[in-house]
Amino acid sequence: MTSPLLKIDHLEVRYGDLIGVADVSLEVPRGSVVALLGSNGAGKTTTLNAIAGIVPVSRGSVVFDGENIAGQPAYAIVRKGLALSPEGWRLFAQQSVENNLLLGATPLADRARVPRLLDRVYTVFPRLAERRAQRAGTMSGGERQMLAVGRALMSEPKLLLLDEPSLGLAPAIVDTMYDSFAALHKEGQTILLAEQSVDVALEAADHAYVLQVGRTVLEGPAKVMADNPDVQRVYLGVE
Amino acid sequence: MGMTLVQVVVSGLLLGAVYSLFSSGLTLIWGMMNVVNFAHGDFVMLGMYTAVVVWTALGGGPWASVPVAAILIATLGIVSYFLLVRHIMRGPMLAQILGTFGLALFLRYGALWIFGANFKTLPDDLVGHSFIVGGIRFEGARVLAGLVGLAVTLLLHFILTRTSVGSRMLAVSEDAVAAQLMGIRPQRMQALAWGLAGAATGIAGALIATFFYTSPTVGETLSIVAFVTVALGGFGSVLGALVAGLLIGVIESLSAFLIGPVYKDVIVYTVFVLVLWFRPQGLMGKA
């Protein structure tokens, strides 16, 4: 069996005295979709941000593609093939949709691939093609989410990290969004996604981890997790 | 009267284009990282001395001094960024003010020490004599300064809005963390902004030196005009600095001609206050 693309061991993130993530361990095998579940404040966003390098890792290791990337700056990590669609999207609101996508392609060494990648994003999200000249700041929530995901795809990442892709979106748009993730999965894209919506996430994922107050408390194949009453119990916070 | 008025407006525009150029660096730095460079006028002053030295040492006019000043002041900008600005940006606003103000004093009195307090001027005919086209008299030095000023300001605007490096710089200014997620190193883009601002400012200095006296404290006088131009155009907008610079140039020459040279500053500042009264964000600034 080949080594996982991402392996996190006993990750801890502290902000001074505050603990953002206490003890998270997880694995993302190549070509799989892994869901990171948990209620608000469980540490999903902090975990993804620590992997991508925008918050510092206090303890533990983050091994990506055989290399410990914990402590490396975000701009170096994305160049290794790990792209994050962050919480709140963090789009460049003043710039056009197409410029946002082109900025996403900055880490690519092979500039000749940019037009093809742009086409691929426009095929996955035709809505973005229609709005390519529009300022990112003037788009709707669903379109912004598409743009954040599309922008992350532009660097052709080996691992795509998605933070709450369903947050604040109408159910119909969530379905469209998850259809496109399924299509990416079929192409062989490895994805780690954090979600509060358990049902959609478990339907899309192969494997799932559940976080509670900064710790991984449950894990298992997505199909098994869907039927596990403990998952719902952790969510509702009933002990 | 009619022809004279055209003459006055044309000279105002030529002067205004230089105002635009020497303000564009200040607005670029503000737009990129919310830092007010109080040493800006002294960067202009060093650009002027570059022109003086190139003339006295090499006998070269603006064709030689403009590129030399661009490179020298761009280097000064990048060095200031890495040695000073990068560090004071992490501190409170007061640290930024005192830090760049300290840099201003350092440069000003450094120039005094090296060049002395005497005013220096370049020969009147360095750029060429005045000429008359269509009944309007043009002074060579002013025409050159105006046209180069306009061209370089437009080039700066073009770089920021139409090139991929400009897009990366704007990305850093909008959200430095998100820019890092794109593989962009914010410090590189900020250093580049200081380099570009320095180049534009150095060019402006070398051009101004062809028709204005050069002294260690001239930066003080000039930086007031730069701050007014930037505030009028809208902090952070190069295009705003261009429009505001041209506007101030024209208002200055018109009021000097119609009312009297003594009153031109009063008129300029009155217009300035009125515009900001109704549009506090400046002509092209974002509300």
Is B182 in Cβ contact with A104 (below 8 Å)? yes
C-beta neighbour count of A168 within 10 angstroms: 11
- Alpha-carbon gap, residue B6 to A130, rounded angstroms: 48
Q: Do the Cβ atoms of A142 and A169 come closer than 8 Å?
A: yes
Contacts of B23 (CB under 8 A, 6+ apart): B225, B226, B229, B230, B233, B241, B244, B245
Q: Quote ipTM for the complex.
A: 0.93
pLDDT tens profile A74-126 = 999 999 999 999 999 999 999 999 999 999 999 998 899 999 999 999 998 99
Contacts of B47 (CB under 8 A, 6+ apart): B69, B72, B73, B201, B202, B203, B204, B205, B206, B208, B209
Q: With a cut of 90, say whether residue A197 has pLDDT above it.
A: no
- Alpha-carbon gap, residue A25 to B223, rounded angstroms: 57
Helix ranges (H only) for A131-194 are 141-153, 171-186
Q: With a cut of 90, say whether residue A15 has pLDDT above it.
A: no
Among B175, B200, B204, B172, which Cα is nearest to B188's?
A: B172
Confidence of residue A239 (pLDDT cuts 50, 70, 90): very low
Is A54 in Cβ contact with B184 (below 8 Å)? no
- Give chain B's domains with CATH numbers: 2-278 (1.10.3470)
**Segments in chain B below pLDDT 70:** 1, 287
Is B181 in Cβ contact with A86 (below 8 Å)? yes
Bridge partners of A218, per DSSP, are: A210
Q: Which chain A residues are Cβ-neighbours of B180 within 8 angstroms?
A: 53-54, 73-75, 78
> Nearest 5°: CA angle at B174, between B172 and B178?
65
Is A84 in Cβ contact with B181 (below 8 Å)? yes
The pairing of strands A207-212 and A33-37 is parallel
What is the average pLDDT across A32-44? 93
- The confidence score (pLDDT) of residue A1 equals 53
Q: With a cut of 50, say whether residue A232 has pLDDT above it.
A: yes
User: Strand, coil or helix: what is B246?
Assistant: helix
CA A229, distance to chain mean position in Å, is: 25
pLDDT tens profile A45-79 = 999 999 999 999 999 999 999 999 999 999 999 99
Q: What is the CATH class of A1-81+159-165+192-239?
A: alpha beta
pLDDT tens profile B237-262 = 999 999 999 999 999 999 999 998 88
pLDDT higher for A228 or B112?
B112
Query: Rounded to whole angstroms, what are the CA distances from B218 to A180, A202, B117, B250?
Result: 62, 69, 11, 22
Enumerate the domain spans of chain A: 1-81+159-165+192-239
- The confidence score (pLDDT) of residue B236 equals 87
Chain A nearest C-alpha distance from B156 (Å)? 17
Chain B nearest C-alpha distance from A145 (Å)? 15
Task: Return the residue in B168, B182, B286 with the most chain A beta carbons within 10 A, the one to mutate for interface testing.
Answer: B182
- The confidence score (pLDDT) of residue A236 equals 55
3-state helix, strand, coil in chain A (%, to 5): 40, 25, 35
